[in-house]
């Protein structure tokens, strides 16, 4: 991304945050806040190794820095300040920011002398502390209801659901980087036998990320492992099979913002391959219909419910479901094949805050987005169909077994399952009669099924 454009967008982002945080602080009864970047955490009490830092998302809302024990200081009516504590450990270096664009948009001070960060903190007014380190909060003079006050967090979380132009640009770049990895993995999968670990390492190399830098642990699932929704226990050996599937759920990060993309592929010949490719194509077309069906002012849960009706249609088309669409939905059969939610908010966290403020309906227990769709939201759309034995076996023995072709289930089960996932940004001023979305993923990975275009 052009550094001048990024700098300009960041300055506007800081101006918007300053105004929004002022309103949130005033509404919650605070004069200002201090946001701690986070501290290194020991991996074990019996050793001196530390986990890589995952900065406090509230902190990275202001600056894309991944260094411990820094702070954002903001008092209503004054300019925000980034207190940058430079790491001086002889054991290892802290990760350096990819660009310095943020240095042109926010005041930066460095602690000097024995007072450290505490000497730079405001001493007047009611100031809140946000962060996970209670010891740091106490050392900096915070206690009681000024540490992570619920009323302030409740006011700040909704600010993360409506992204600024800077944030959308960062998420778009994270999608571009992830798409490079998806193409590289597909080429390798289609041309040779690779282990899950091989494909994971290839993805990291193609995207220029170390494992701790990825927004989440890559899901690299060959064959039946695709039925494990968060499969990360990679096989370390390659399997030579005439028929094989791959589900890759992997993203990238840029300036603290994340992408989250899933593609599913199959290779081989014969009737089973054709049936499974039909399932992939069905999920691909459904996913695109759902993206096209996004409308401002409607509930995301309604889109999730519609996805179950469309899953029922796919089950009927490929021959897995024998009942009507209503029967397959009402008896819970679609939820046996598709047990998770349609998607979630995306931003500084993969499962970002602010879009699950109300509980979903009882039949949608895993739905992470229950918001009313608004402009500047960014969320995923990720329907899937899986062969999860622990869920399907009770149906095989139950009263609705006749609505499922279990012979076909058994034939396709070794291929695991299908998921197609894109990241979309909702536009505020969409063209009339067009879905108000910008598909950040398809700009770089046009085909969800991932065949010819992935080799281009």
The string of DSSP letters for 59-111 reads: HHTT-----TT-EEEEETTS--EEE------SS-PPPPPS--GGGGTSEEE--
In angstroms, the CA 227 to CA 420 distance is 14
Look up the CATH architecture of domain 3-160. Answer: 3-Layer(aba) Sandwich (3.40)
Helices 271-292, 300-318: axis angle to 10 degrees equals 160
Using CA atoms, how far apart are residues 273 and 58, in angstroms rounded to an integer?
A: 46
| Cα gap 101→63, rounded to integer Å | 10
Overall CATH class of domain 165-455: alpha beta
User: Which of 357, 375, 382 is CA-nearest to residue 303?
Assistant: 382
Backbone angles phi, psi at 439, to 5 degrees: -85, 100
Note the pTM of the prediction, 2 decimals: 0.96
- Taking only the tens place, the pLDDT of each residue in 286-314 is 999 999 999 999 999 999 999 999 999 99
Please report the DSSP string for 340-393 in residue order.
S-S--B-SSSSS-SSS--SPPPTT-TT----PBP-TT-EEEE--EEE--HHHHH
d(CA 350, CA 54): 12
User: Fold identical between 3-160 and 165-455?
Assistant: no
Give the pLDDT confidence score for residue 98 in this predicted structure.
95
Buried b (16+ CB within 10 A) or exposed e, 331-351: bebbbbbbebbbbbbbbbbbb
Domain-wise residue ranges, the chain = 3-160, 165-455
**pLDDT score recorded for residue 276:** 95
pLDDT at 435: 74
CA distance 271 to 276: 9
Measured over the CA atoms of residue 290, residue 438, residue 227 and residue 370, the dihedral's sign is negative
Q: Which two tokens stand for residue 347?
A: 């931003």
Q: Give the residue from 108, 449, 118 showing the smallest Cα distance to 263.
A: 449
DSSP H helices in 160-299? 165-191, 196-207, 271-292
How many other C-beta atoms are found inside a 10 Å radius of the C-beta of residue 103? 15
Nearest to 431 by CA among 306, 296, 299, 287: 296
Extract the residue ranges of the chain whose pLDDT is less than 70: 114, 430, 432-433, 449-456
For residue 456, the model assigns a pLDDT of 41
């Amino acid at each position: 991304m052009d550094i001048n454009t990024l700098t300009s967008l960041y300055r506007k982002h800081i101006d918007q945050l300053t105004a929004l945080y002022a309103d949130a602080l005033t509404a919650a009864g605070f004069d200002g806040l201090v946001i701690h970047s986070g501290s290194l955490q020991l991996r074990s009490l019996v050793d001196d190794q530390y986990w890589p830092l995952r900065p406090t998302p509230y902190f990275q809302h202001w600056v894309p820095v991944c260094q411990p024990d820094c702070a954002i200081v903001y008092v209503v009516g004054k300019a925000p300040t980034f207190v940058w504590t430079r790491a001086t450990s002889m054991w290892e270096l802290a990760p350096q920011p990819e660009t310095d664009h943020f240095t042109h948009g926010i005041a930066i001070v460095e602690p000097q002398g024995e007072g450290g960060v505490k000497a730079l903190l405001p001493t007047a007014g009611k100031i809140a502390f946000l962060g996970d380190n209670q010891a740091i909060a106490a050392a900096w003079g915070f206690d009681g209801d000024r540490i992570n006050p619920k009323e302030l967090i409740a006011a700040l979380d909704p600010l993360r659901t409506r992204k600024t132009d800077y944030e959308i640009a960062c998420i778009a770049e994270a999608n571009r980087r992830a798409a490079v990895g998806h193409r590289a993995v597909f080429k390798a999968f289609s041309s040779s036998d690779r282990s899950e670990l091989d494909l994971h390492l290839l993805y990291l190399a193609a995207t220029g990320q170390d494992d701790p830098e990825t927004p989440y642990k890559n899901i690299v699932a060959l064959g039946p492992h695709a039925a494990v929704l968060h499969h990360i226990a990679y096989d370390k050996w390659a399997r030579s099979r005439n028929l094989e599937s791959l589900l890759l759920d992997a993203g990238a990060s840029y300036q603290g913002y994340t992408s989250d993309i899933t593609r599913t592929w199959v290779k081989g010949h014969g009737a089973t391959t054709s049936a499974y490719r039909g399932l992939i194509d069905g999920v691909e077309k459904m996913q695109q219909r759902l993206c096209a069906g996004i409308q401002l002012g409607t509930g995301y849960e309604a889109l999730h419910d519609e996805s179950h009706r469309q899953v029922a249609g796919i089950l009927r088309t490929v021959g897995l479901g024998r009942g009507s669409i209503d029967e397959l939905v009402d008896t819970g059969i679609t939820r046996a094949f598709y047990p998770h939610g349609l998607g979630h908010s995306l931003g500084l966290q993969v499962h970002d805050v602010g879009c699950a403020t109300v509980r979903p309906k009882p039949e949608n227990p895993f739905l992470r987005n229950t918001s009313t769709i608004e402009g500047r939201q960014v969320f995923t759309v990720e329907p899937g169909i899986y062969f999860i034995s622990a869920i399907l076996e009770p149906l095989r023995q139950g009263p609705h077994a006749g609505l499922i072709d279990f012979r076909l289930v058994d034939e396709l089960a070794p291929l695991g399952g299908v998921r197609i996932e894109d990241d979309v940004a909702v536009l505020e001023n969409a063209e009339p009669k067009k879905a108000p979305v910008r598909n950040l993923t398809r700009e770089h990975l046009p085909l969800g099924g991932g065949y010819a275009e992935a080799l281009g």
